[in-house]
Structure 1
Amino acid sequence: MSGPLSVASSLAGGCHCGSVRLVYTSALVPADTHPRACDCSFCRMHGAAYVSDPAGALRISVADAQTLLSYRQGSEAALFRLCGRCGVLVAVTYEQDGRMYAAINAGCLDERDAFAPAVGASPQLLSREQKIGRWTQLWVPEVEWA
């Protein structure tokens, strides 16, 4: 990602049925931000390409707590967050020392078409420790649940 703005803007989004809503706050300009398309089989099956800003924030609102599903795969360190009603993958999270980090599936944001073309990412080539190190550097470190 590149091209920070002088002020942060908020991008809204969520799942298809509206049970899970997101507000992603970032100073990054969507047109200059290339979502990262993970090449693992899970993300490829969902068509996921992630955006994040280590200086940003994310608020996730869930209408019914039982609606939000979590799935671990690969290194089993991260939780993929999906709507249990419509099946949309909205984000991936990782928790360390009481702090939650997240990357947002750009396809879930209302402004999804404003982003630059996705670029490939190959986390499968990284060890569990390398993945975690990458996440804590690149992902949103301020995640609020509502």
Structure 2
Amino acid sequence: MAPITDTPSMLEGGCHCGAITLAFSTARVPSDTAPRTCDCSFCRAHGAAWVSDAAAQLVLRAHRPDRVRRYRQGSLAAQFLLCGDCGVLVAVVFEDGARTYAAVNARCLEVRDGFAPVVPASPQKLEPDEKTARWRELWIADVRWTTD
């Protein structure tokens, strides 16, 4: 687990064309945070490396809401958020009642090269209820969507 600082840092990023941007506020130190590379075919095809922090905040902004694409695969519990114009995979969300949990693709952040080396993850080996329990524990629990 990455060291915690007293002052949260704001990690910003988004898709390549700017249709979707994000602000990830976390007290975890990026250089000590190892993104997780999921070994499923979808994440591998997109080169995704996931970061999250259950105590963090995430604001996703759709500058062109009609360009946000949602895709479900595997257990269908999570939705991958992609830009319909440039194709960048920005985040993954899991909706549990009124709460939304999320993980951010570190490779769409401005500090993408500032993280520790990636570590493998194999969520496809978990049962669906094990996956969602893990997401509730590890993913960002304070997620907000805004639009222009």
TM-score past 0.5 threshold = yes
Normalised by the length of structure 2, the TM-score is 0.97
Residue-by-residue CA offset, 1:25-45 (whole Å, 9 max, x unaligned): 000000000000000000000
Matches within 5 A, 1:1-146: 1-146=1-146
Cα distance in 2 between the residues matched to 1:15 and 1:60: 11
Distance 1:105 1:34 in 2: 12
**CA displacement at 1:75 relative to structure 2:** 0.2
Q: What is the CA-CA distance between 1:7 and the residue it aligns to?
A: 1.2
Q: 1:47-94: per-residue Cα shift (whole Å, max 9, x none)?
A: 001000000010000112111000000000000000000000000000
Question: How far apart in 2 are the matches of 1:6 and 1:65?
Answer: 35
Give the AA of the match of 2:83.
Answer: C
CA distance in 1, matches of 2:127, 2:87: 28
Distance in 1 (alpha carbons) for counterparts of 2:32 and 2:99: 28
- Partner-residue secondary structure (3-state), 2:42: helix
Which amino acid in structure 2 is aligned with residue 111 of structure 1?
Answer: V
Query: Within 2, Cα distance between the matches of 1:22 and 1:46?
Result: 18
Query: How many Å separate the matches in 2 of 1:63 and 1:11?
Result: 18
The 3-state SS of whatever aligns with 1:16 is: coil
5+ unaligned residues in a row in structure 2: which ranges? none
Moved beyond 4 Å, runs of 4+ = none
Most deviating of 30-39 and 57-66: 57-66
Q: Which runs of 5+ in 1 are unaligned?
A: none
- TM (normalized to structure 1)? 0.99
Deviations 1:72-131 (A, max 9, x none): 000000000000000000000001020000000000000011100100000010000000
* Cα distance in 2 for residues equivalent to 1:30 and 1:136: 21
SS in 1 for 2:113: helix
Cα RMSD, aligned residues only: 0.5
CA distance in 2, matches of 1:36, 1:6: 24
